[in-house]
Structure 1
Amino acid sequence: MSLRLLSWNVRGLNNPQKREVCKNLLKEWKCDIVCFQEMKLSSLNSVVVRSLWGSPFLDWVALDTVNTAGGVLLVWDKRVLEKVDSVVGRFSVNVLLKGVVDDFVWAGSGVYGPNDDNQRGALWEELTRMHSRWNTAWCVFGDFNIIRFPSERLGCETFSSAIFAFSDFIEANYLVDLPLEGASFTWFRDSGTNCMSRIDRTLESVDWVDHFGNVSQRVLPRVVSDHCPLLVVASSVSKGRSAFKFENMWLKEEGFVERVRQWWNGYCFSGSPSFILARKLKALKEDLKKWNKEEFGDLAFRKKCLLSDLLGLEAREDLLGLSQEGQTRIQIKGEIAHLASLEEISWRQKSRMLFVKEGDNNTCFFHRVANSHRRTNHIRGVEVDGVLYEDEEEVRSKVVHFYQNLYTESDT
């Protein structure tokens, strides 16, 4: 299952020519769900929405503009997603969706945030209520009109209370802030002044990312707006049933060996020695898999949360002059160092360079070797007779056809 999601502040869709350009671009980008912000349309109906989408297979929900200002429109392909429930708030359009192919249920929230700091608290409360209402996988996207770090606005050097509140909302709802590929900023002032910032973004819950397994976010060219469209491509990696693998980094976790010993001694099976050994190994595998998922967790996500906590702590100290958080900072840094050590062991194991000793810190080398294995085993596209095929089914079909012909020719 794959999904292509687009978030785009188009700054006015009341112009028919602009809608025509948007429709043409959407066809090229092949989106399954699109969120428009700041349409500035005085009235919105099916005719206008179809003039944007260009296909009869659509459904939509909208937050109306106020005095031809603002507004959010969420449109999706009914052949890919179907609506289960929807709520239109003051700043957002929220839809509970279900995948037609895989029955995956998730909530999507399209946002157009306020410019007034005094109103941003109401936005975070509104979105948090939506999350609690459905309590499922969640993806939030749109123009938040607020940055998260000073580096996301040209010329900005200090944190503000509004920036802290944005990060607090992300952390409180356990959202993942995906890296932005292709650019550092998403909004550019078209006048002579040099102003740019990253106020557009997408945020995903961990279970939403885990469902697809391969999620990326990139900036598309600015064409009819001073905002760049954001394209999120989420696709599950097709693979067979993965074999169980013991992770060497588990041995570094405090209490792990004693836990395994208790599990092993607690198993009770009857039969021949070889049968008992096989059953105990199988039971141990299930306990290890459960422990890894529920307790050990994802190292990258754990480290990302700690780094975010550390950044927020240091920023607060710079802003408010706090000093009593020193012990907390030391503890967080220690946990980050421990997780980094575990990650290095994991990469070393994946790279299969067993001759390298554990004390070697050439992490980048291990990353390149492990990633090269993935790239070698994954075919992103094939070119046949000058035509490039990137769709997964088309790639599979062309590869099978090639080897079938090769086999036939060898027989003759």
Structure 2
Amino acid sequence: MKIISWNVRELGFKQKRRLIKSTCSRSNPQILCLQESKIKVMDSRLMRSIWKASDASWVIKEASRSSGGIIIAWRTIHWSLLNSSVGSFFISATLRNSITGSGYLICFVYGPNDINLRSDFWSELSSVCQSFNGPICFAGDFNTIRFSAEKSSGNSFTSQVAALSDWIDSNSLIDLPLLGSRFTWTNGWTTSDHWPLILSAEEADWGPKPFRFNIAWLHITGFKSMIADWWQAACYQGYAGHRLCCKLKFLEQKLKQWSKEEKSRSEQELDSILSEIQKIDSQTEGNPISSHILANNIRLVQALSAKIYQEEISWKQKARSKWIKEGDRNTSYFHKIASVHA
């Protein structure tokens, strides 16, 4: 099971929705929560623009005056909704697992920046703990930290830091350790302002999947010439049908090995792009942005868009709808059809 929690800072930008959809495609979550959506209404079209799952259902805490807003979405193949609740600073959903039949309360929060509202914030969250006798998961943006090391400036201990620890201890909660990036937020640009948090439980390994040619490979520089070289290098004796069969088998084995290496390389490139964007955000925080840095950021965003576009092509192939032209960007349609075939 995987849960994604992400402060997305508004869903109005197409580039941001594509990034969310790309992240969901790679992580394959069962539950998705987005904070600061800044929307008042969620419909199936908007949901499909951020998540490929055709069986997604959701509850929403509306934005107030173009700010705030929380969305909890889940796949109905895995979870069914028992009840939901919306508070001043949270939205929660009690979900039943389709396999075990057990109920879980998932509560996503968006903490106030106003210190005067903090006392009400902790009291409201404590009431949520007392309302459910079972497993509870809290996630979201608390707008505070627990330890000074969780902030790059390393500010000293404050009463708000103590309040978070007191709330965790008094409700017998566990603060799960964070792996990966040390910080999840930077006061930078819209493409990388916040980073997603992924809660992952161990899943069963069903073994290798059958090999399939991915048409997105055709957009990789040098791919066609590489195939031509492999084809020419494969020399076999016998009648024409036998030689053709052997050459195709040779090509399949070469592509299997190459695809593993290419997938790893592509993921590393994507991680490098996101890391560079995050590095630029850190360098420009509170400092003037030079034309060189701005140009570099534009280059990185374009590279990120190219990576995401390749994933869109893959989804079109999985949808098995060859009659629609590749230039059609109606990816929500392809995601829906692909999910039905799965």
- Interval containing the TM-score (normalised by the shorter chain): 0.5 to 0.7
**Amino acid in the other structure paired with 1:17:** Q
Gaps of 5+ in 1: 192-222, 239-383, 389-412
Query: 1:171 maps to what in 2?
Result: 169
Given that residues 42 and 67 in structure 1 are in contact (C-alpha distance below 8 angstroms), is that contact kept between their aligned partners in structure 2? no
Query: 1:228 maps to what in 2?
Result: 195
- Distance, in Å, in 2 between the alignment partners of 1:60 and 1:50 is 12
- Distance, in Å, in 2 between the alignment partners of 1:71 and 1:5 is 18
Query: 2:6 maps to what in 1?
Result: 8
Name the CA shift for 1:90/1:225 in 2 (closer, same or farther; >3 Å). Answer: farther
Query: 1:133 maps to what in 2?
Result: 131
**Amino acid in the other structure paired with 2:91:** V
TM-score of the superposition, structure 1-length normalised?
A: 0.48
Q: Percent identity?
A: 34
Query: 1:33 maps to what in 2?
Result: 31
Q: 1:115 aligns with which of 87, 100, 113?
A: 113
Q: Deviations over 1:210-241 (max 9, x none)?
A: xxxxxxxxxxxxx9331111111112789xxx
Query: 2:78 maps to what in 1?
Result: 80
Name the CA shift for 1:18/1:183 in 2 (closer, same or farther; >3 Å). Answer: closer
Which structure exhibits the higher relative contact order, with contacts defined as CA atoms closer than 8 Å and separated by 6 or more residues?
A: 2
**Amino acid in the other structure paired with 2:11:** L
Given that residues 40 and 65 in structure 1 are in contact (C-alpha distance below 8 angstroms), is that contact kept between their aligned partners in structure 2? yes
Query: 1:96 maps to what in 2?
Result: 94
Given that residues 62 and 74 in structure 1 are in contact (C-alpha distance below 8 angstroms), is that contact kept between their aligned partners in structure 2? yes
Distance apart, 1:127 and its partner CA: 1.6
Distance apart, 1:42 and its partner CA: 4.3
Q: Deviations over 1:78-133 (max 9, x none)?
A: 11111111101111110111111111211100111111121122221112112211
- Distance, in Å, in 1 between the alignment partners of 2:104 and 2:133 is 9
Query: 2:146 maps to what in 1?
Result: 148
**Amino acid in the other structure paired with 2:57:** D
**Amino acid in the other structure paired with 1:14:** G
- Distance, in Å, in 2 between the alignment partners of 1:59 and 1:87 is 15
Alignment of 1:175-254 (within 5 A): 175-190=173-188, 224-235=191-202
**Amino acid in the other structure paired with 2:23:** L
The higher radius of gyration belongs to: 1
Distance apart, 1:44 and its partner CA: 2.7
- Distance, in Å, in 2 between the alignment partners of 1:181 and 1:106 is 24
**Amino acid in the other structure paired with 2:122:** W
Distance apart, 1:385 and its partner CA: 5.5
Alignment of 1:9-408 (within 5 A): 9-190=7-188, 224-235=191-202, 386=257
Aligned residues: 210
Gaps of 5+ in 2: 206-254, 261-342
- Distance, in Å, in 1 between the alignment partners of 2:18 and 2:152 is 33
Given that residues 60 and 71 in structure 2 are in contact (C-alpha distance below 8 angstroms), is that contact kept between their aligned partners in structure 1? yes
- Distance, in Å, in 2 between the alignment partners of 1:88 and 1:161 is 27
Given that residues 11 and 225 in structure 1 are in contact (C-alpha distance below 8 angstroms), is that contact kept between their aligned partners in structure 2? no
Given that residues 112 and 142 in structure 1 are in contact (C-alpha distance below 8 angstroms), is that contact kept between their aligned partners in structure 2? yes
Given that residues 10 and 225 in structure 1 are in contact (C-alpha distance below 8 angstroms), is that contact kept between their aligned partners in structure 2? no
**Amino acid in the other structure paired with 2:197:** L
**Amino acid in the other structure paired with 2:195:** C
Distance apart, 1:30 and its partner CA: 0.6
Given that residues 7 and 34 in structure 1 are in contact (C-alpha distance below 8 angstroms), is that contact kept between their aligned partners in structure 2? yes
- Distance, in Å, in 2 between the alignment partners of 1:149 and 1:55 is 37
Distance apart, 1:187 and its partner CA: 0.7
